[in-house]
Chains A and B, each alone.
Chain A
């Protein structure tokens, strides 16, 4: 096997350096900027995780919010009985376990049907959680005594770094090469001996874990839990838009997409949420039609040394 390509590892060092620098934000800036930082770091953690499965293998998940929501549910349900040092890892494990269980039947479905199936699955889980909560006689929960903003910021920073590391690992190992082969031609990859089903499942599980923990942290940040909010399909939609706009194949793509859309969301979400969604939809349509390789693929690597496809 060929040696690890150099640029990806350089990108990793660059991103981790940026994240380390971002760690200064709570120390020098006020709560407002710390809050903005949490939102951006969340976007980075989610989009990097999403890209492990969807950008590399081409199995575009439109239901990744299900892992985020399940993680939030685990942390909230165990609030008061488990410390977050335990409940956050459990949230990640629960999300990964769920991906493992549904992975085999779900990953047999391909192309646009996989996309719509993941969406339907996330909605199904959402309505199930709503029904479970309603059966216990509550529509929402308040969580008291959550950690302070700075703690949540550093937790999210760690998750963003971890997601980036996982995304890097998935790109430089056999797994990543196999996933890219699956994306280009699944039958050919299988013929050449890529363990297709195992790789897809591994990528699915890897891409589910961090979003589970992210959901848990965001539930603590909201101090409020409502199934319809933590399972909002727009979370999935944002992940896709960020990865596609940034360019998901490149390790820097999810970061750039998350920063671009995260900033836009910060400017517009509170004042004009519908306008934000319209812009998001327009951007997605434009990028899918005209710039499918994303900002990274188009601008940052204009002349690759050799044909990469």
Chain B
């Protein structure tokens, strides 16, 4: 038992799932931060990205590492389209926004049900997977498959790049300013419309990339998205709204709890741990573990 717990393999698994959660949550953080509506269909973008990579590989034999770019672009376009076509109009009018706020979650839940079942109807509900880079790599005392290493490397690189962008680049700073304080950002001259458009693009895009990465190591199915949404909520609430560093730390906490919890018990505990952390965090620590500002208002 102790051997398993101290093994590099388990540590690696925890880090890998944490990186995925951090990436999904980062996208949700951007969209939620700028729109202030909880998009429970966010996990379905992960699912769609996963299917994109699966189809490209199984039909045309295209490497998921290449498809990554395509699904990111497609999802980003979808996000910007959704913003321009639907949300900009809804958010512009105060009354519509106020009315929507209370029912927003039902709206997104309805959309999520539509997306999931449309995919299930179009393909099938059976989980699908593919073999890519499944050769075993020896790293210290841990034996890992190439696809896991590649997925982790890409996720970490992407997280680092986006963090740097949000900290260093003027446009990234504008994004964070908008998340922090909308009115103040407008006063100092942030182009709200452009920043929101970019946040939607970036948020949707990163979710799809996360999906493509997940599809390299796990099976895809139409209903796989929801746990990712839940995990992303946990990460945002624990880590704090608009806080990238806090989000990564929170993702690590969740990933470690889930991975080591499952190792100590059994695989059937994975969902209990995920939903258990979610319920506890939402009920008792809505102000976050690292942040001071409440996400839950």
Contact = CB atoms under 8 A, between A and B. Distances in A.
Interface of A: 58, 60, 62, 105-106, 108-113, 115-117, 120-121, 123-124, 127-128, 130-131, 134, 237, 240, 244, 274-275, 277-278, 280-282, 284-285, 288-289, 292
Interface stretch (B115-123, B179-187, B254-262): B115-123
Question: Chain B, interface size: which category?
Answer: 35 or more
Contacts of B103: 60, 288, 292
Given A123-B271, A275-B117, 4 more contacts: A105-B284, A109-B282, A109-B286, A113-B282
Cβ-closest 6 pairs across A and B: A281-B113, A284-B110, A281-B114, A124-B275, A112-B105, A277-B117
B297 interface: yes
A293 to B, nearest CB: 11
B285 to A, nearest CB: 12
20 contacts: A60-B102, A60-B103, A60-B106, A62-B109, A105-B283, A109-B296, A110-B296, A112-B37, A115-B105, A120-B230, A123-B275, A130-B268, A237-B113, A274-B118, A281-B112, A281-B114, A281-B117, A284-B109, A284-B113, A292-B99
Contact of A115 (B106, B110, B286): B106
A289 B113 CA distance: 16
B106 A284 contact: yes
Contacts, number: 112
Given A105-B283, A123-B275, A127-B268, A116 B99 contact: no
Contacts of A128: 272
Interface string B131-150: 00000000000000000000
Contact of A113 (B37, B99, B106, B296): B296
Interface string B248-278: 0000000000000000000011011001101
Q: Give the one of B104, B109, B116 with max A CB within 10 A.
A: B109
A134 B99 CA distance: 44
Given A109-B282, A120-B282, A288-B110, A274 B268 contact: no
A151 B261 CA distance: 46
A278 B118 contact: yes
B38 A58 contact: no
A130 B279 CA distance: 18
